[in-house]
Structure 1
């Protein structure tokens, strides 16, 4: 396994050079970080370069790093993580791309490079509000079209902003402000003699 990772590392460094902003090798996996401005070019090279041949994008997700492990974070808030697979060379790679603007997170779409990114990018847009520039059909995929906000952001309220219900008078679904009042839920403690077989 070590020789295989050595070969992948050497191929990545030769092909991408200074476009790799951060390189991490941990637990038998390689993770690279590239700039959003370089992502389309890097993705194309990862797919087409004969030394790399990452034919498949097997996963892509968004992340909100605003309170990551409760540590101060001087990096950008939104991150896109892609997992790539080379079937022909039998190796995997994780690629991280930070969106440079926290107020309007934009990252280039890789759907033209790997068509499997289509729904993954729509999911990251829906849940985190990350815009994938160049995506042909960037719209919500999990939440309703009228949904307000992006529910996986760490500043999104637990109870949401609006709720929907069926209104019998208008005979349709209507949206209204959330009517749930926040409450503290305290678990009930059961104290019984011989509970769990203890004497």
Structure 2
């Protein structure tokens, strides 16, 4: 495990960092402080167990999951990214100890990103995981009702992936003959618009 970064850490953050580092041990790939925020990176195999420890361990006691989202790193640093494409990021809050931590885990397979569900640890993960599944296509194994939550049932693809077209794949219109809403292929061709810049010789000097 990487050494925890204790330099220039706010007092409360340092205590959180040390408590998390001690509780997780070798289940954490890294524990670091950035901008007075503690971030834990764990492997996919230890993700579920690490989260249980963070909820139960003295000095941690993160009773609440306040956010969970997917991340697509495919264009990170202008495409100069060497690592798994998809990650899940979880934000946890300890009400009793007034501290927060961020947990990040990478999915092992870019073609079929999958990770354990946290619904057995925090029930609040339910809709957050459905959202990450809907928008990024990340499969949460063990989730009891993993289905789309923001897009329609007939929606094609996952719109927060970096390679998803801005115009989408289908559009929804009302068909007057069928008297219902239907899907059809997108009729607008994507185009790149370059702004036209006109500079006058003495503009702003008069």
TM-score by length of 1: 0.91
CA distance in 2 between counterparts of 1:71 and 1:153 reads 14
Which residue of 165, 180, 191 corresponds with 1:157? 165
CA distance in 2 between counterparts of 1:187 and 1:34 reads 44
Alpha-carbon deviation of 1:168?
A: 0.8
1:198–1:94 Cα change, 3 Å: farther
Alpha-carbon deviation of 1:190?
A: 9.1
Indicate if the aligned counterparts of 2:71 and 2:86 stay in contact, CA closer than 8 A: yes
| Pair 1:77-2:85 in alignment | yes
Local SS of the residue matching 1:154: coil
Structure-1 residue corresponding to 2:186: 178
User: Deviating runs (4+, > 6 A) in structure 1?
Assistant: 188-191
| CA-based RMSD | 2.0
1:116-159 Cα distance to aligned partner (Å, 9 max, x none): 11111111000000001111111101101000000000011111
CA distance in 1 between counterparts of 2:79 and 2:177 reads 51
1:39-84 Cα distance to aligned partner (Å, 9 max, x none): 1111111111122100001111101001102142221100100000
CA distance in 2 between counterparts of 1:181 and 1:117 reads 38
Which residue of 122, 128, 134 corresponds with 1:114? 122
Structure-1 residue corresponding to 2:97: 89
Local SS of the residue matching 2:143: coil
54-63 vs 172-181, which moves further: 172-181
1:86-127 Cα distance to aligned partner (Å, 9 max, x none): 011111000001011101100111111111111111110000
* Equivalenced residues, count: 197
Q: Is there any run of 5+ residues in structure 2 with no aligned partner, and where?
A: 1-8
Which residue of 19, 22, 31 corresponds with 1:14? 22
Alpha-carbon deviation of 1:188?
A: 7.1
CA distance in 2 between counterparts of 1:17 and 1:182 reads 50
TM-score by length of 2: 0.88
Which residue of 27, 34, 42 corresponds with 1:34? 42
Which structure dedicates a bigger proportion of its chain to helix? 1
